[in-house]
Structure 1
């Protein structure tokens, strides 16, 4: 094993180890995915980068290149030329996925590569984090929990920057505290995050590391604290000088806009509603008046008319027989008074007609 390490060291020196910076040993569970950042020198910004699979540099085979994607999806690669970092991702890890090289292709010369090892296990990895990619907010704090089962010194480092161990320290001007919060877990807390804190970091316990990508962005959630400090959002020269001031200024403007909501907008729908109600009431009143007039006219016509009732009684006239009695009826007009209508008295004449046979 010592001979292999010596050989790797010699090849690393020959292939320009100073050109690429990566983590060296990562523990990961079988079946999962892992992303490895590879930091390169700015002079290689426009060069092709690739992932080479194999233990020996001379016999490794490229798995994926920035100009040749892997059609199977097993390997992925992306190049962030602004930060001079290309990232390789290995999906669906197995025990055969263990030895790799991050490589920068050199035109008309030997390529530059750096070796890293994946410790693939079916059980719990020796060192892992809850999420390999996390998000923090400007001005706030973030805590990363690093779970471990191995021994050694704990570290929280930024790729190609300084590290913070057990005592509080600083990375890129941001305060960092790393300590053991509970058994087999140590935490790294970054306070007062800034946008420039975005990038690749790594937890380390002993000789094992796990890369973590931190994205620092604006918190879009409106809070009373943010609104209370917006009076300082505009600098003395009357200009907005920072992105934070612009966001705070926007919050105040939106709040003032809501407070000065013009009531005239409600006048038009209210007026239309009132007109509709008035028209409906007017139509109802007209129809009701017409119905009442018809009813009164009908009643007046019935009262003013003279009604004559006639009663007709037909009697059979039989020839008188001996011993029969004959009764004769007399017709007399009878007067019957109807109820008075509007002070007048209506006279009704009844007549009885009798026929004798």
Structure 2
């Protein structure tokens, strides 16, 4: 019976040791550690503790209190069922074993994962230039892992499958691994995930031998600016970018995306539409200019013709009132017989002279 208990104890110890992760960070740098948990523990308190032994593990930060200290903080994402711990300004004496723990009310707390954090004064054996990488749906992201140690190489999703060798798939997304050597006896493992989906948002691990480094990938919908810059992003060579000067794996937000042929076709289509709209706009402006010029010319021509007509319509007798002569009208009565009396009724034999308008020679010349 004692042999069985010893074997069981050794098995448990071996399982916990094999399930641990070894993370290396340069002194003065920072590290973000993710701890995943079961849905059953969503409403439980989680904490990050330090210490080799289980009984000597002292709490550093908790999701209830304290949530942060001068060099550590904790946050809980219940949607992703992951709580993360950020440690900053690390020093060599911070090298120790750390644990992700869920508090069980009325019982023993549950350890989710343990880590051995190694803080080195020089460049660590495994590091990444960015722990936070963002991409857009349908695009690609590239992660670079720098290492000087040896061992099996693997890119895996937290709590899921992994890809080793040169290529593979994770949740329907294409993954390629490429290794290139540097002059300082280091090797760069370039991991490219293409055809991103929203479901690819998660934590991933870059693993070389016994060392690992967590990387969080966030996939979002492309914005208008990102759609117009697809052509530029797709032509950038991922290997031409240089790593950061300090390999501290400090979280840096980036938009490291490159687009495929589908994005290029969309960009070409958008540029064609813009050229067509610009051409139509220029045609409208030219046509409007021609119409305005034609209308102004016609108006000028009509005004000129109207002026000529007004000049030709001159009064032929401008001063006729001054030279009009009227003849004298004298009524003439027939002679009455002597001895007869004048008739009381009006005489019908009254004769009137005609009225003539005399026009001067100057007026005739002006009329002609």
- Cα distance, 1:7 vs structure 2: 7.8
Q: 1:24 aligns with which of 21, 25, 30?
A: 21
Q: Decide whether aligned partners of structure 1 residues 70 and 11 sit closer, same or farther in structure 2, where only a CA change above 3 A counts.
A: farther
Q: Is 1:194 aligned to residue 197 of structure 2? A: yes
Query: Could you tell me how far apart the structure 2 residues matched to 1:126 and 1:7 are?
Result: 32
> 1:64 touches 1:70 (CA, 8 Å); kept in 2?
yes
> 2:158 touches 2:204 (CA, 8 Å); kept in 1?
yes
Q: Decide whether aligned partners of structure 1 residues 9 and 45 sit closer, same or farther in structure 2, where only a CA change above 3 A counts.
A: farther
Query: Could you tell me how far apart the structure 1 residues matched to 2:74 and 2:147 are?
Result: 28
Query: Could you tell me how far apart the structure 2 residues matched to 1:256 and 1:44 are?
Result: 58
Q: Equivalent residue for 2:80?
A: 83
Q: Equivalent residue for 1:210?
A: 213
> 1:146 touches 1:203 (CA, 8 Å); kept in 2?
yes
Q: Equivalent residue for 1:169?
A: 168
Q: 1:95 aligns with which of 92, 95, 99?
A: 92
Q: From the two aligned structures, give the one with the greater strand fraction.
A: 1
Q: Equivalent residue for 1:74?
A: 71
Q: Equivalent residue for 1:128?
A: 127
The count of corresponding residues between Structure 1 and Structure 2 is: 238
- TM-score w.r.t. the length of structure 1 is 0.58
Q: Decide whether aligned partners of structure 1 residues 129 and 258 sit closer, same or farther in structure 2, where only a CA change above 3 A counts.
A: same
- Cα distance, 1:54 vs structure 2: 0.8
Q: Equivalent residue for 2:114?
A: 115
Q: 1:53 aligns with which of 47, 50, 55?
A: 50
RMSD between aligned residues: 3.6
Q: Equivalent residue for 2:350?
A: none
SS at match of 2:70: coil
Query: Could you tell me how far apart the structure 2 residues matched to 1:193 and 1:12 are?
Result: 37
Query: Could you tell me how far apart the structure 2 residues matched to 1:258 and 1:45 are?
Result: 56
- Cα distance, 1:92 vs structure 2: 1.2
Q: Equivalent residue for 2:41?
A: 44
Query: Could you tell me how far apart the structure 2 residues matched to 1:25 and 1:104 are?
Result: 21
- TM-score w.r.t. the length of structure 2 is 0.57
Q: Equivalent residue for 1:149?
A: 148
Gaps of 5+ in 1: 1-5, 233-247, 264-357
Q: Decide whether aligned partners of structure 1 residues 131 and 228 sit closer, same or farther in structure 2, where only a CA change above 3 A counts.
A: closer
Gaps of 5+ in 2: 1-7, 232-261, 285-368
Higher RCO (CA-CA < 8 Å; seq separation 6+): 2
The CA deviation string for residues 124-166 of structure 1, in whole angstroms up to 9 with x for no partner, is 0010001111111211122211100100011111101111111
Q: Decide whether aligned partners of structure 1 residues 110 and 125 sit closer, same or farther in structure 2, where only a CA change above 3 A counts.
A: same
Q: Is 1:185 aligned to residue 188 of structure 2? A: yes
Q: Decide whether aligned partners of structure 1 residues 203 and 227 sit closer, same or farther in structure 2, where only a CA change above 3 A counts.
A: closer
The CA deviation string for residues 303-338 of structure 1, in whole angstroms up to 9 with x for no partner, is xxxxxxxxxxxxxxxxxxxxxxxxxxxxxxxxxxxx
Q: Decide whether aligned partners of structure 1 residues 117 and 170 sit closer, same or farther in structure 2, where only a CA change above 3 A counts.
A: same
Q: 1:221 aligns with which of 224, 227, 237?
A: 227
- Cα distance, 1:89 vs structure 2: 1.2
